[in-house]
Amino acid sequence: MNKSALSTQLKRLLPRGRVLDSPAQLAGYASDALGYKSYQPDAVVIPADAEELVGFMKGARQLGVPVILRGAGTSLSGGPVAAQGGVIVHTSGLKRIREINVEGFWCEVECGVGLNALDAELKPHGVFYPPDPSSGPVCTLGGNVASNAGGAHCFRYGVTSNYVLGVEVILLDGSVHRFGGPAGGRGPWREDWKRFMIGSEGTLGAFTRFWLRLLPLPEKVWTFRATYPDLRSIEAAIHALVAHSSYPAAIELLDPRGVAMVESSQMAVGLPKGSFMLLTEIDGPAALVNARVEPVAQALRQAGSSDVVFSDEDAMRQKLWKARKAAGGLLGQLSPDYVVQDAVIPKSALAEVLQLVYDEADAAGIRAVNIFHAGDGNLHPNFLFDSRVPGDLEKVEIISERLMRRVIEVGGTLSGEHGIGNDKAAYMPLVFGPDSMRLQWAVPAAFNPSHQLNPLKVFGNRRFAA
Amino acid sequence: MKTIAPMQAERLFTPFLDAVDGTLCLPASATFADIHAQAAAHRLRFPLIVDAAATLREQVAAATHAPASCRFGPYCDNLLGINWRLPSGRLVRIGERVVKTTTGYDWLRFLLHSGRRFGEPVDYVLRLRPDCGFHLEARLDGDITALRDCVRRLMHSGWMHWWDAVDFLAEGAAFSVRVAIHCPPDEAPIFAAQLSCIASETHTRLTLQDNPPPSFDGLPDVVVKTTPDRAIGLACELARDAVRCVALCYNGVVHVHLNVGEDVAERAHTLMQPHLGELHALGGDWHSRWLPATPPTVTESQWIETLEQAIHGS
């Protein structure tokens, strides 16, 4: 189908929504948050509401083109991009918070609701939704559920899949199914189908709404920042915190290259050169959490830090977080392009795998900065490069493959919270043997056998043949 | 990027204890004593136990949650990986030994409570938690209105994160609330003071016991999943006809314990029939370890068939 005919068909399917088809409009949808790979879609549709999304999905099969669901496009793995061309469905029109049920600790939201927008609505009710990816100000819950998003406070609170009670999904035949609901069970189904839907990266169906589990807001938060002279001592600090009775909510690490990046920028906060920075938080009722402050500070000092700062005041806490939060933004300023990996490893392998990152990157002449969720062993090595320089991206891909091979050898996994998308699909044969690969393939075979939904994602050979 | 050749053999878990990560891989036939014997030496514990004598496989088959799910979530958030025996007898590894993964479709959570329809677990990887060295158990007694108020106070504040369990116990017309706390010894007075405050404000009688011997409710005969605000009411109603109910208040789960020797199938169906409409409307469910699973709907039969083809082809 040529693009003009496609646009005409799409406008019929979305009488109230929008169809974007000019090159300038489509350019904004050509990549995700990383932007080093670009895939121009044939068109973008913005359904006005859930009803119109259902109508679109009913007609999508006849269009004979790939269909890609997209929230805010903040993916870091090439998830919501038109890797095989086709139509991107932008879900920004589905942004109603339909119910907040404080007594039942749940809320019902549409897939285009922004994460921080939900938190702002929940706060006056004294409850919160814990997953907190750093894209919170812009990302949508649809994207979060599709990629099983995590965040800094997952160490204690867990990831998105821990909080999804139910999902409503439209399949490619236009049928609408509700898996679970406020009670978080199976509903009338024999099997718990929502488990496959969460983290399915838009490859099984289109989400319309979710039922999410809530928790009471913590009364008080203490933030600690400590610096360490070497990897051995910060590793000791991480191990001490992981086993600590205060159950920290977050344990974050910025390596010396990240510290240097922050300190040589306008966001400098006075961290010692060459140091590792550790950030941790404890929260709870004041009577309880105040009693835990000194034991946590003591644990940080005993691991080898002479620079432990902590506070329960909002302004000071923001200052303590500043270097960690600034580092992510600075990457984009320092380098035209960067790739961030998302491997999770047993924490006992932390020093060895970090050293591998440094050695490989240094040998290839690629800058590497590590900013990551140390408590979970969730590495985020950022490889800075320039995609206009011939061979740079290839170097990063070689380093990444060596890293992933070692990650699997030490018992880790490819991705902890970003999803596989298009960027990491090539590594999947490192993880699954013949039988487990057959199981993996059975899931899209059941719900989206033609791979019309988000082709070339999760498994690189998921190609749509019209 | 060059293509990576597929693996020729399955990766499997081999038994291990990782004291740094707090993870333990052991056979599905392990019991509480087996777990404790390995974990305690490293000041770690696995809090999700409903029956001391039952194997882990039996516990996971019987229940999706344990009392400590109030703090730590259901089994599926605390079992990180499994070695799974397919109907063909071949073993596959499902899940990970690390706490986060978005690598592929989530077969782990799908299979964990699927009974033996798609095979069976051989080994589990458990997520352990720090053992802080001190248990405190609180009992709160009073009339049903006071106890409801008490549970509301326990759950609707920042303290809720720190109760290992908040259970509403119903046996006939006798009700009480049980709160489990696990903390360092020096924090016990802080918890005790908060509980005293709640008991006083809700006109309930508080009894505290330090480091009680481990006691478990036993495997439930019927497990019902509803919303947290409906769990107490449902437990009260079911307890009129059943012997004993334990509502896991934050999780919205009711464990029903029937009389030994009863026709469990008949009793379970009779008990649950009046509640099915509401449960399904809420996205809840029920199951019994004594009964086969509900037959699949026509729609899901097609999906199941596709999964089974892959499973039986393995």
Domain ranges of chain A: 1-217+432-466, 220-409
Per-residue pLDDT, averaged over A335-360, amounts to: 96
* Nearest of A98, A211, A102 to residue A160 by alpha carbon: A211
**Structure-token match 């000019």, residue found:** A22
Q: Where are the alpha helices (DSSP H) in chain B?
A: 32-39, 56-62, 69-72, 107-112, 144-155, 188-202, 228-241, 264-272, 276-281, 298-312
pLDDT score of A324: 87
**What homologous superfamily does CATH list for B134-210?**
ACT domain (3.30.70.260)
Size of chain B in residues:
314
- B194 with A192: Cβ contact below 8 A: no
For residue A317, pLDDT beyond 80: yes
CATH number of A1-217+432-466, picked from 3.30.420.40, 3.40.50.300, 3.40.80.10, 3.30.465.10: 3.30.465.10
At B30, which amino acid appears?
A: A
* Nearest of A333, A314, A177 to residue A267 by alpha carbon: A333
**A125, A130, A135, A140: CA torsion to nearest 10:** -70
The mean-pLDDT minimum among A316-330, B104-118, B164-178 falls in A316-330
User: Looking at chain A, which residue has its C-alpha nearest residue B307?
Assistant: A442
Q: pLDDT tier at B273 (50, 70, 90 boundaries)?
A: very high
Per-residue pLDDT, averaged over A69-75, amounts to: 97
Write the CB contacts of B153 (distance below 8 Å, at least 6 apart in sequence): B198, B201, B202
A280 within 8 A of A317, measured Cβ to Cβ: no
Rounded-to-integer distance, Cα A426 and Cα A195, Å: 24
DSSP state string for A112-176: T-BHHHHHHHHGGGTEE---B-TTTTT-BHHHHHHHT--BTTHHHH--GGGTEEEEEEE-TTS-E
For residue B314, pLDDT beyond 70: no
> Is A412 in the B-facing interface, judged by CB distances under 8 Å?
yes
Mutate to test the interface with B, among A122, A189, A394 (most CBs of B within 10 A): A189
For residue B122, pLDDT beyond 90: yes
pLDDT score of A328: 82
- Quick check: ipTM above 0.90? yes
Q: What is the mean pLDDT of chain B?
A: 95
pLDDT score of B96: 97
**Structure-token match 């005293």, residue found:** B196
pLDDT score of B294: 85
pLDDT score of B5: 87
Rounded-to-integer distance, Cα B131 and Cα B40, Å: 8
Per-residue pLDDT, averaged over A208-224, amounts to: 97
Model confidence pTM above 0.90: yes
Cα–chain center distance at A420: 10
- A183 with B97: Cβ contact below 8 A: no
- B227 with A182: Cβ contact below 8 A: yes
pLDDT score of A453: 98
Write the CB contacts of B105 (distance below 8 Å, at least 6 apart in sequence): A196, A199, A200, A440, A443, A444, A458
pLDDT score of B1: 67
At the topology level, CATH places domain B16-130 in 3.30.465
pLDDT score of B168: 98
Per-residue pLDDT, averaged over A384-393, amounts to: 95
> Is B291 in the A-facing interface, judged by CB distances under 8 Å?
no
Phi, psi of A284 (to 5 degrees): 155, -170
Nearest Cβ partner for B314 among A166, A435, A449:
A435
B228-244 pLDDT, tens per residue?
999 999 999 999 987 89
Nearest Cβ partner for B303 among A101, A219, A446:
A446
For residue A11, pLDDT beyond 90: yes
Rounded-to-integer distance, Cα A230 and Cα A235, Å: 9
A245-300 pLDDT, tens per residue?
999 999 999 999 999 999 999 889 999 999 999 999 999 999 999 999 999 999 99
For residue B215, pLDDT beyond 90: no
Using CA of residue A463, residue B2, residue B8, residue B13, what is the dihedral sign? negative
A420 within 8 A of B104, measured Cβ to Cβ: yes
Query: In angstroms, what CA-CA distances link A23 with A3, A20, A42?
Result: 11, 9, 9
What's the CATH code, domain A220-409? Answer: 3.40.462.10
Phi, psi of A332 (to 5 degrees): -65, -25
- B300 with A348: Cβ contact below 8 A: no
> Is A434 in the B-facing interface, judged by CB distances under 8 Å?
yes
How far B282 CA sits from the closest chain A CA (Å)? Answer: 5
For residue B2, pLDDT beyond 80: no
For residue A392, pLDDT beyond 70: yes
Cβ-Cβ pairs closer than 8 A, A with B, add up to 286
